[in-house]
Amino acid sequence: MTHIIIPGSFDPMTLGHVDLIERAVRTFGRVTVVVMDNFEKTYLFSTEERVGIAQSATKHLTGVDVISSHEMLYEFCRRTGLFTVCKGIRNAEDLDWENRQAVWNHEQENRIETVYLPASDSFREFSSTRARRAIEAGEDITPWVGPEASKLIKKKLKNRT
């Protein structure tokens, strides 16, 4: 069994993310989902909310845990001793971006290796950005995030008003 990490902002976690996590846990055995903070981004949900959504979306999976980190990815890897990073790829743009990130992380910490899983066909058009736009427009987000996460997101948004 290999223990890998799947880092991301997960703002919010989508069914595409869940599909990636399900496939990764079948392939590698153990997955730690790391909800990361990028201080250059503005998030719709707090770190704690994103962790809660991710936990709800993955609670059916054995061998998956969800944590947060405010560190750079390479710092997180050094601290935890987890050096295999798994990323989902939807298209050539994703691949280019993720390759640049993988090279940079490997330059910072040469034990980090990044592996890619292509997005399942049914999730190639899904993105957190699309889900956020639907949320902001008041649309039903269930097709992007699933019913349980949708309820949790609606509850959190209701409590904000």
pLDDT tens digits, residue range 4-14? 999 999 988 88
- Residue ranges, the chain, pLDDT below 70: 160-161
% of the chain residues with pLDDT over 90 = 61
Q: Which residues of 44-156 form beta strands (DSSP E)?
A: 64-69, 84-89, 113-118
**Is the separation of the CB atoms in 121 and 28 below 8 Å?**
no
Closest CA to 39 of 72, 13, 11: 72
Q: Which residues of 62-124 form beta strands (DSSP E)?
A: 64-69, 84-89, 113-118
What is the homologous superfamily of the domain 2-160 according to CATH?
HUPs (3.40.50.620)
Name residues whose C-beta falls within 8 Å of residue 25's C-beta, 6 or more positions apart in sequence: 31, 61, 62, 63, 64
Tell me what pLDDT residue 98 has: 95
DSSP-based helix, strand, coil % in the chain, nearest 5: 50, 20, 30
Tell me what pLDDT residue 160 has: 64
